[in-house]
Amino acid sequence: MNSIFGHHTIHQFDEELKALHNQIIEMGELVLNQLCLSLESVKYMDLSLAQGIIDREKVVDEMEVSADKTICAILVRRCPKGSDLRQVLSASKIVNCLEQIGDKVVKLANFVVLMHTTEQVNTHYFSLEDIYRLGGVSTEIVQSALEAFEDMDVEQARQVVQYHLTLDQEFQKALHHLIDFLQAEKSNVNNTVSQVLMMKALERIGEHARQIAELVIYQLEGQEPTHHLPDLVEDFPVDGL
Amino acid sequence: MHLNATTTYNSMQTDMSAIDLTLPSSSLFNFQISRDRDNDLVAFGLPRMQCANVSVYYDSKLAVDDVNLKILRNEVLALIGPSGCGKSTLLRCLNRMNDTIQGCRVSGKITLDDQDIYASDMDVVPLRVRVGMVFQKPNPFPKSIYDNIAMAPRLHGLASTKAEFDEIVETSLRRAGLWDEVKDRLKQAGTGLSGGQQQRLCIARTIAVNPEVILMDEPCSALDPIATAKIEQLIDELRKQYTIVIVTHSMQQAARVSQRTAFFHLGKIIEVGATEKIFTNPSEELTERYITGHFG
- Per the structure, how many domains does chain B have? 1
Chain A interface includes B293 (CB < 8 A): yes
Question: Is a pLDDT exceeding 90 seen at residue A213?
Answer: yes
Q: Which residues contact B151 (CB under 8 A, 6 or more apart)?
A: B141, B143, B205
Q: Are A60 and A99 in contact (CB under 8 A)?
A: yes
The answer to whether residue B80 is domain-embedded is: yes
The alpha carbon of residue B153 is apart from the nearest alpha carbon of chain A, in Å, by 42
pLDDT digits (tens, 9 = 90+) for A46-75: 999 999 999 999 999 999 999 999 999 999
Specify whether the CB–CB gap between A34 and A60 falls below 8 A: yes
Of A8, A86, A229, the CB nearest to B294: A8
pLDDT tens for each residue of A76-88: 889 999 999 999 9
- Percent of chain A past pLDDT 70, that is, above it, reads 86
Strand, coil or helix: what is A232? Answer: coil
Shortest CA gap A9–chain B (Å)? 5
Which residues have a Cβ under 8 Å from the Cβ of B174 and sit 6 or more positions away? none
CA of B256 to nearest chain A CA: how many angstroms apart? 12
pLDDT in tens, A165-192: 889 888 998 888 888 877 876 667 777 8
Q: What is the pLDDT of residue B23?
A: 34
pLDDT (tens digit, 9 = 90+) per residue, B92-121?
Answer: 999 999 998 999 999 999 999 999 999 999
The span from the CA of A101 to the CA of A103, in Å, is 5
Q: What is the rounded CA–CA span in Å between residue A123 and residue A132?
A: 13
Cβ neighbours of residue B91 closer than 8 Å, sequence gap 6 or more: B79, B215, B217, B245, B247
Q: Which chain B residues in 233-252 lie under 8 Å from chain A, judged by CB atoms? A: 251-252
Distance from CA of A72 to the nearest CA of B (A): 17
Between β-strands B115-116 and B47-58, what pairing exists: parallel, antiparallel or unpaired? unpaired
* Residue B295 touches partner A, C-beta closer than 8 Å: yes
Mean pLDDT on B151-168: 94
Name the phi and psi angles at A173, rounded to 5: -60, -50
CATH label of the domain that carries residue B245: 3.40.50.300
A115 φ/ψ angles, rounded to the nearest 5 degrees: -60, -40
Confidence band for B34, pLDDT divided at 50, 70 and 90: very low
Q: Is residue B27 predicted with pLDDT exceeding 50?
A: no
Chain B residues close to A3, C-beta within 8 Å: 292, 294
pLDDT tens-digit series, residues A138-160: 999 999 999 999 999 999 999 99
| Residue B1 banded pLDDT, cuts 50, 70, 90 | very low
Per-chain mean pLDDT for chain A: 87
Distances (CA, A) of B128 to B55, B123, B247: 21, 9, 18
Of residues B234 and A1, more confidence is placed in B234
Which residues of A are less than 8 Å from B276 in CB distance? none
Q: Which residues in B lie closer than 8 A to residue A80 (C-beta atoms)? A: 292
Residue B192 has pLDDT above 50, yes or no: yes
A193 confidence band (pLDDT: 50, 70, 90): confident
Residue B154 lies in a domain: no
Lowest mean pLDDT among A176-190, B10-24, B151-165: B10-24
Residue B36 belongs to some domain of the structure: no
Q: Tell me which range, A132-136, B1-5, B108-112, is most confidently predicted by mean pLDDT.
A: B108-112
H-helix or E-strand spanning residue A28: helix A11-44
Q: B281, A9: Cβ pair inside 8 Å?
A: no
Q: How many CB pairs under 8 A join A and B?
A: 50
CB B148 within 8 A of CB B140: yes
**Residue A11 reports pLDDT greater than 50:** yes
* Cβ separation B282–A86 shorter than 8 A: no
Residue type at B69 in one-letter notation: L
pLDDT of residue A238: 56
Q: Where are the alpha helices (DSSP H) in chain B?
A: 5-18, 24-27, 87-93, 124-130, 145-155, 162-175, 179-182, 195-207, 225-238, 251-257, 275-280, 285-291
ipTM score over 0.90, yes or no: no
Structural domain contains residue B30: no
* pLDDT on residue B248: 96
- Cα–Cα nearest to A111, from A196, A223, A225, A207: A196
Which sequence spans correspond to the domains of chain A?
11-221
- Report the alpha-carbon distance of residue A123 to residue A118 in Å, rounded: 12
Mean pLDDT of chain B: 85
| Predicted confidence (pLDDT) per residue in A114-126, tens digit | 888 876 655 555 6
| Candidate from A9, A86, A232 with C-beta closest to B293 | A9
Phi, psi at B104, each rounded to 5°: -85, 130
Closest C-alpha to B139, from B225, B199, B98, B180: B199
CA distance linking residue A200 with residue A215, whole number of Å:
23
Residue B221 predicted with pLDDT over 80: yes
pLDDT score, position A186: 63
Domain covering A11-221 assigned CATH 3.40.1350.10 in the classification:
no
Does residue B256 have a pLDDT over 60?
Answer: yes
**Cross-chain CB nearest to B292 (options A5, A222, A232):** A5
Point out the least confidently predicted range of A8-12, B153-157, B176-180.
A8-12
Distance CA B12, CA A231 (A): 18
B93: left (phi over 0), alpha (psi -120 to 50) or beta: alpha
Helix residue ranges, H only, B208-249: 225-238
- The whole-number pLDDT of residue B295 equals 81
Nearest alpha-carbon partner for B283 in B52, B33, B90: B33
Q: How far is residue A202 CA from its own chain's centroid? A: 8
Q: Rounded to the nearest 5 degrees, what angle is found at the Cα of A206, between the Cα atoms of A204 and A209?
A: 110
Q: Is the pLDDT of residue B86 over 90?
A: yes
State residue B18's pLDDT score. Answer: 36
What range defines the domain where residue B115 resides? 42-136+213-291
User: Do residues B131 and B112 lie in contact, with contact meaning Cβ atoms separated by under 8 Å?
Assistant: yes
For B253, nearest residue in chain A (alpha carbons) = A79
pLDDT at B5: 40
Estimate the share of chain A in helix, then strand, then coil, as percent rounded to the nearest 5: 80, 0, 20
What pLDDT, on the 0 to 100 scale, is given for residue A4?
55
Q: Judge: A7–B296 Cβ closer than 8 Å, yes or no.
A: no
- What's the pLDDT tens digit per position in B124-147? 999 999 999 999 999 999 999 999
| Contacts with A6 from chain B: Cβ below 8 Å | 294
